[in-house]
Amino acid sequence: MAYLRAQAAQIDAWEHLGNDGWNWESLLPYYKQSEHFQIPTEEQCLAGAAYDIDVHGTTGYLKTGWNTGLLGENVTSLINATYTSTGLPYIQEPNGGSMRGFTRYPATVDRELNVREDAGRAYYLPVQNRTNLDLYTNSFVQRMTWDKDSTSSTPRVSGVQFTDASGKQKVMSAKKEVILSAGALRSPLILELSGVGNSA
C-alpha cells in the first residue's frame, strides 16, 4: 500500500477549524514515531526512490520504503518528463508536506521479507500473546456510549456499543479512554451515530 501523508495545508486546516495544536508541525513527530523507514538501496535510488530523512522515523513499528523489485529508471524519467512538460514538478519527498507533482512514493513494505506491511504485522502480531489484550474479529461498532456524568460542555465517552461475530449487541466499557480509529468513512459515521456532528 502507498505510504503518503496528507498535504501540510490539509493538516493545518484542522487547527484553522478550531482544533488548537493540530497542525503539520505538531503531527510530524507522531508520524515519525510510528514509522520504521527503510533507507532505499543504491539501485532503488537509481530507479527513482528519493527521500528526506528529516521527515521520516527509523525506530517505529510500521515499516515503510520501496520493495526489492523497484525497477524502471527509464520509466521514471519518461513519466517525469511528461509531468514536468505540463508544469508539474518532480517531488523528491512526498511525505514532507507537499506532494503536488510526480514521485516514486514509498509503500508500507517489509523490504527484508519483501512482503506488504500493515497494522496487523506492525502492531498486533508482536504483542498478540499479551494477557491484557483481547481482539474481537468480525465485530462492528455501532456507536460510542457516554459517561453518565458527561455534559455537552464536558463530554466523555465511556465505551462502545458493538455487534459481535454471533450477531449479539454488546457494550464494552473503557477503564481509561476510547480511541476511535475506524478510517475516513466509518469514523464520521460512528461519531454521528453517537450524537456528534450532523444528526440527519
- For the chain, domains (ranges, CATH) are 8-127 (3.30.560.10), 140-193 (no CATH)
Average pLDDT (181-195) is 93
- Distance (Å, whole) CA 38 – CA 35: 9
The predicted pLDDT at position 200 comes to 63
Mean pLDDT of the chain: 91
- Distance (Å, whole) CA 74 – CA 87: 20
Q: Name the CA dihedral angle for 111, 115, 118, 124, rounded to a multiple of 10 degrees.
A: -100
Q: Which residue has the higher pLDDT, 137 or 79?
A: 137
Q: Grade residue 71 by pLDDT with cuts at 50, 70 and 90.
A: low
**Is a pLDDT exceeding 70 seen at residue 115?**
yes
